[in-house]
Chain A
Amino acid sequence: MPDSLNFHFTPVDKARPDEQNAHAKASTDVTDVIKAIQERFPEAVTEVVVYAGEHTVFIAGEVFLNVCTALKEELGFTYLVDLAGVDRFQEDAPRYEVYYCFVNLQAGKRLRIKVRVEEDDAVLPSITGLFKAADWNERECFDMLGIRFEGHPDLRRMFMPEDFTYHPQRKEFPLLGIPGSLPLPPRTPEGELTMDPFAAARSGSPAKSYQEPAENDEN
């Protein structure tokens, strides 16, 4: 018997970059910008992936901050729309990627940049000095994936309390949480702190928000 069945009900499709996408936008065609980056920083662009009319530009971590400065001051990408981390969780590739979405308001262009981050050294330069909007997004990325941003003025957790020590969006973090990692208020007025809100889902004793009547009830 094999350990697992290597069988998919739905076969996994491969991407076809030349396929026409009904939702592709003119604003995501940024070949000129990529060319400009390549001319300015010959070593910066490591890879460009095209899908659905969108270019994902992979930038080497060392020159990343210089590229961002050039993007803002020379190429007109002054508006940072989004910043987030992705956990790749594969053995042959760097563990994390951080993606940045910039918009050039004058030219009407949208650019996606990605930077790869190694697991052992999960540090990136912060771009809060250039884009104030990156502040909370970098904090969120740190909170969720544990990527540190060097030079961030205030790298606290964004959503989770400081008493929490894990980074929940990493792929190895269980969906039902880790019991005892975050004390929550008691369920009954006289009860203890709730250390595992998902006890019922773990087939433990179901949590009740009311007092059970005594077992030796006459009725």
Chain B
Amino acid sequence: MPVKSSYHDQENIFSFWPRHNETILKRLESKDAWLSTRRGIEFSRAKDALEHEMTLNIGPQHPATHGVLRCMVKLDGERIEKCVLDIGYLHRGVEKLAESKTYQEFMPYTDRMDYLAPYANNVAWCMAVEKLANVEVPERAQWIRMIMCELARISSHLLWLGVGLMDAGAVSVFLWTFQGREDLYSIFDEVSGARFTVSHSRIGGLATDLSSKAIDMIRDFAIRYEEVIKGWQKLLNRNRIWIDRNKDVGTVSADEAIALGLTGPNLRGSGVPYDIRTFEPYLKYDEVDFIIPLREEGDCLARYHIRVEEMLESIKIIHQCLDRLPEGPIRADDAKKTYPSKNEVYYSMEGMIHDFMYTETGIAPPEGVAAYHAIESPKGELGFYLESDGTGCPWRARINAPSFTNLQGLESMMEGHPVADIVVLIGSIDPVMGEADK
């Protein structure tokens, strides 16, 4: 039955989902402006024409919100008195979709969650399934996964750095970091055949081995970019404008950060040394030598330092991985649990049957079991909680997305700052809406 549209009605154009806007506004009005009691910030109540209270809606289409984040803020003059965030504009229901896909079939969806570091998401998903179904991954595949995860971390942090500086008004750094991302795209292209959504990891290993050209490209990148990143540090670490924009903005203490559930660089910027790579070492992180950058200030500048230092640590890890890369298979040899090799598929009947069965039914973990596996993705702890009913599709696939958790902390971080700091704060939290909205 066609429903009469009120969409083009000029009066009703802003009440497309009227109840939704109404509830957000109601929440904003009823929210306790806790700043004056909690942080001791006194609001000026002068009868100045420019210091009136105002309700402002920023996003979801605003370019500074890095996607489709909607901020409803109540301003007192130029200062944010209270703020309500609204997300869900990119909600695709991937958790629901996972329930009707086989485990391997779901992997391309993880590419599209945190689309700035797709390889890390692939690995997170594969490792969760491997834990659930108890699949052992060959050594070489684990080392390659580590290399690619660290490249994904650099790729994500490069975008954060460029866009963060562009938010603060410096456009040229954005062009430089995108040059770096371009080089990384070429590496991903050489490794997996895709530049952006790589889908290269497989349950039980990898799709293809690294070519010698790819190894050269990775080594070249690691050597060149160590100098480049140090050059950016020289440019920014003592840059007066950059420091003034970031210092003491969005300060979160360690206790507050734990209470708010912040994760990743945002948590470590407040002095909490929680990194899954050392907390619960996965892959071969317990065998390589690296440090976890830590700051105690908890402001945007601390988070900047952490991310840039993390990139340098990633390069250190990549060098060690390349030096220690062992020879051997890249995928477990078990037709019930992983895809057979292409040679087997093309030249043997059994291989072809196994390939068909794996695509059709896939891996089937034991009935009624559950497992949680987390990795340190560029944004923080990315965990998958899976429950199996014994078939080839998960009964429940829960995604613990770091951007979602971090955005929750942003709401209280913004309160008390001038409007101009919103863009810097969003940038320093580094959310990806594809992941936060699931």
Contacts and interface: CB of A to CB of B under 8 A. Distances in A.
B7 A185 contact: yes
Interface stretch (B232-240, B321-329, B381-389, B422-430): B381-389
Nearest to A23: B131
Interface string A59-79: 000000000000000000011
Interface stretch (A82-90, A118-126, A210-218): A82-90
Given A23-B127, A82-B398, A163-B18, A186 B5 contact: yes
B17 A159 contact: no
Contacts of A84: 385, 398, 400
Query: Chain A's interface: helix, strand, loop or mixed, by majority?
Result: loop
A15 B366 CA distance: 5
A78 to B, nearest CB: 6
Given A108-B279, A133-B259, A10 B392 contact: yes
B148 to A, nearest CB: 18
Contacts of A192: 2-5
B88 interface: yes
Interface residues of B, number: 74
Contact of B20 (A26, A103, A136, A163): A163
A25 B385 contact: no
Interface in B379-432: 381, 383, 385, 387, 390-392, 395-396, 398, 400, 404-405, 407-408
Contacts of A136: 404-405, 407-408
A132 B260 contact: yes
Contacts, number: 173
A15 B368 contact: yes
Given A156-B23, A163-B20, A183-B17, 5 more contacts: A15-B367, A22-B130, A105-B258, A159-B91, A162-B23
6 shortest interchain CB distances as A-B pairs:
A133-B261, A159-B88, A12-B390, A161-B20, A23-B131, A15-B366
24 contacts: A10-B336, A10-B391, A12-B364, A12-B390, A13-B365, A15-B366, A15-B369, A16-B366, A52-B134, A52-B369, A56-B370, A78-B259, A81-B263, A82-B398, A82-B400, A105-B272, A131-B259, A136-B407, A144-B95, A161-B88, A168-B96, A186-B5, A191-B5, A192-B2
Interface of B: 1-5, 7-8, 16-20, 22-24, 27, 87-88, 91, 93, 95-97, 100, 127, 130-132, 134-137, 258-261, 263, 272, 274, 279-280, 282, 336, 357, 360-361, 364-374, 381, 383, 385, 387, 390-392, 395-396, 398, 400, 404-405, 407-408, 437-438
